Homo-oligomer: A and B are copies of this chain.
């Protein structure tokens, strides 16, 4: 893959069907996902309603990357509604396998941090990532995320072996 033109935009309700399909494909392609990926287990109608809520929310974001008009990657920022914790955004990024290694993670994370700093009420970004996923950890470190914890048994692989999971965070001012 030499030249790919990629555009980013926020998800809208009409993306539900394609988003479900892409989420299932990404879940099959990688062992690094932990849980709660976009849309898995929802019907298209439920996801469409959620996307409408997300679009309106000031502390939640779902950002899609398109190549040739098709979704190829996404980044989410999720925050709870309670004031006590509504300043905390949890980040998730996933990229279709065919589009790994061309900088999509960097582009998405750059946009997520720009949105967090300039358009959201967030003051802390956090994420969890398997310790063996060195490429992702390197990406997060490049953007200033620091490791707060190594969570022992924070995940397990398909064979049932326990995996360390890093809790990483970045403060937003």
A residues in contact (CB < 8 Å) with B: 33-36, 80, 82-85, 87-88, 123-124, 126, 148-158, 162, 167, 169, 171
Task: Determine the residue in chain B with the shortest Cβ distance to A36.
Answer: B80
B156 touches A87 (CB 8 A): yes
Main secondary structure of the interface of A (DSSP, over half): strand
Known interface pairs A33-B84, A87-B156; 14 further A-B residue pairs with C-beta atoms within 8 A, sorted by A's residue number: A34-B82, A34-B84, A34-B85, A35-B82, A84-B156, A85-B154, A87-B162, A88-B153, A123-B162, A124-B153, A148-B150, A149-B167, A152-B169, A152-B171
Closest-by-CB residue of B relative to A146 is B152
- What distance in Å separates the Cβ of A69 from its nearest Cβ neighbour in chain B? 31
Contact B152 A124 (CB under 8 A): yes
CB of A91, distance to nearest CB on chain B (Å): 15
Give the Cβ gap from A159 to chain B, nearest Cβ, in Å: 11
CA distance A162 to B152 in the complex (A): 27
In the complex, which residues of chain B have a beta carbon less than 8 angstroms from the beta carbon of A157?
84
Which of A33, A80, A126, A151 is packed against the most chain B CB atoms within 10 Å? A151
